[in-house]
Amino acid sequence: MEKQDVPAAKKRRCNSRLLILFLFSAVLFPSYGEKLNRGQIRSLQVLPLADTAFTQQECGFVLTIPGVPPEQVQTAMPVLPEHVQFVSSRRSDFIDSDRDRGTRLEFWFSFKSPGNFTIPALTAVINGRRYSIPFAKVSVQENPDTVLPKMIIRFSLNAAGGKDKVSSGGDFLGNDKSVAADADAANVGAVSSRNREFLSLSDDVKTQPLSCVVGESVYFTVYLKYVLQIVKFDWELQKDALFTEIKRYEIAEGKPRGREFFAEEVPVADFEWRPLLPGEWSLPNIKITATAYNGSRVEVYTPFSMITVLEPDEAPFEKDSASISVKTPYGPPSDTDKANSLFAYAFEDSGIQEKEAHMTSLQEEECRRLADLRCEERKSLPFSASCKARIAYEKRFGIPTGVTEPSVPLFYWCSALCVLFGLLTLTAVFFKKRIFVLFLILFAAMFVMLVVNRIKLNQRYAVFAGGSLSPVPEHTAVVSHEETGGLRVKVLERVGNWTYISYNGNGGWVLSDRLFLIE
């Protein structure tokens, strides 16, 4: 029995020594998980790698967890908003200044639109415990490789009986509060300048007409956005109107601004415009050839506007005040429309317009509406009410209205008449020759119309929402051409999310979600 107790005693002494060694090691060498307590882990944040990100480019975020090895960290990506797309992630070891091992997590996202965004919190499991780690807010700006110059017009009004100075946008932006306080939101008619100097119109209602008094001066400032340099700057004078340049700013002299990207609006020149006859007017056509940040030269024009010049006794505002008003010709405005139309501070246009038509670029919803009208026209007979509605809608934005849609009902009518005249031609063989020739000519005419209509119906067209055309189907390609929104383009090929379109001899690849098919 004594011989059997000796190994047991040795085993107990060995276990005691191992326990002492383990406790001693735990004191001298604490585990990685104890480097950060739960409070410290909750204070972690996923930080952006750069202060500013750009649309259609990858934006990196990093999360550093000191004292916790990568094998003890698991993450789950949250549900992202529509404008944010997850690209990739990477996990790696991190060695801090104390030579302790930690975890470095990198995440890459892509943003579709500019603005200040906060991505939903990241779910992380660290040492078996679940934590919610927030993302820091990131500022996203337009991509300088794809964004094009925009022209913005801001109005200022001269007070009655005086000669006011023409101020820049920064001077009158602060007066928007007084405009909101003085204006009657229930009356979308005239807005008097008796108690305020400045008024302007936002781009949300840029197609709504303005009104002013004949012989009164309207002051406005031309701004450019996303511009590197002005190459050429001129305008067209109007008959029966006075148009004077009051002040020209530094950028209008052709000096480059440097390669650093700026999203701020840059003043170009101050103008005074005075119509001398009543009637329907538009602002003078100002044309600026500017260099974009991607190196391309772009022509921008005065945004589309319609101004009604009234006699003093016809004006819906007081005669002793120079005023400009906003009309709403398309039904009663909503509360939001009233606020936007009266108190917003600018109206702007994408700037890429055709010389001949001088059209305004349509927004995405307006392009969708135009595509719906063309679809209705395709399903109707020629010269129907649908065709007239589409033409009226295009004239509203200055879009060329000459291109009509092929008619599906007309194709079926031609098919039926072609069959009818074919049968009559076969029957007329047994009658007089003149009747046979007549039916043969009618059959040939119907057959030609049938073939032509079928060819047109087989071709695919869409309404383009505007943007850049690339020579290859990828974001990194150099922009080859720019087209405005609202154009009817021919769809030739599709590869993934890219579609090749053609218009007026210009072709290129565009994102498929920028097209509204006409079917």
pLDDT in tens, 327-342: 333 333 444 444 443 3
Per-residue confidence (pLDDT) for residue 135, from 0 to 100: 92
Q: What is the pLDDT of residues 92-125, one digit of tens each?
A: 887 877 777 888 999 999 998 888 888 999 988 8
Question: Structure tokens of 119?
Answer: 């991505």
pLDDT band at 7 (very low <50, low <70, confident <90, very high): low
One domain for residues 343 and 477? no
pLDDT average, residue stretch 346-370: 58
Please report the pLDDT score of residue 106 as a whole number. Answer: 92
Structure tokens at 21: 């060694």
Whole-number pLDDT of residue 60: 92
Asked if residue 392 and residue 372 are part of one domain, the reply reads: yes
> Under 8 Å CB-to-CB from 49, ≥6 apart: which residues?
59, 60, 61, 62
How far apart CA 465 and CA 475 sit, in angstroms, is 17
| Domain end call among 317, 351, 385 | 351
366-404 pLDDT tens trace: 888 888 888 988 888 888 888 888 888 888 777 776 678
Domain enclosing residue 471, as ranges: 366-518
User: What phi-psi label fits residue 466: left (phi over 0), alpha (psi between -120 and 50 degrees) or beta?
Assistant: left
DSSP 8-state code for residue 394: H
d(CA 475, CA 472): 9
pLDDT in tens, 143-201: 877 788 888 888 875 433 333 333 333 322 222 322 222 223 222 233 333 333 344 44
The string of pLDDT tens digits covering residues 78-92 is 888 888 989 898 888
Please report whether residue 358 resides in a domain. no
Whether the CB-CB separation of 223 and 154 falls below 8 Å is answered with yes
Residue 361 located in a structural domain: no
Query: Over pLDDT 90: what percentage of the chain?
Result: 4
- Whether residue 155 lies inside any domain: the answer is yes
Distance CA 78, CA 313 (A): 63
300 shares a domain with 169: yes
Token pair in block for residue 500? 């090749």
214 in Cβ contact with 274 (< 8 Å): no
Confidence of residue 440 (pLDDT cuts 50, 70, 90): confident
Is the same domain home to 296 and 426? no
| Rounded distance between C-alpha atoms, residue 495 and residue 512, angstroms | 9
Tell me the pTM: 0.45
181 and 279 in a single domain? The answer is: yes
Interval 454-465 mean pLDDT = 86
For residue 8, is it within any domain?
Answer: yes
Residues 321, 400: one domain? Answer: no
pLDDT beyond 90 at 129: no
Q: Classify residue 359: in a domain, yes or no.
A: no
> Domain boundary at 320, 351, 382, which?
351
Q: Which of 96, 124, 141 is the last residue of a domain?
A: 141
pLDDT band at 455 (very low <50, low <70, confident <90, very high): confident
Q: What is the domain count for the chain?
A: 4
503 neighbors 464 (Cβ within 8 angstroms): yes
Q: Write down the pLDDT at residue 36.
A: 62
Q: Kindly state whether residues 263 and 336 are assigned to the same domain.
A: yes
Considering the domain boundaries, does residue 360 fall inside one? no
- Give the 3-state DSSP-derived string for 183-234, with helices as H, strands as E and coil as C: CCCCCCCCCCCCCCCCCCCCHHHCCCCEEEECCCCEEEEEEEECCCEEEEEE
Residue 306 sits at φ, ψ, to 5 deg, of: -130, 120
Taking only the tens place, the pLDDT of each residue in 290-305 is 888 878 888 888 887 7
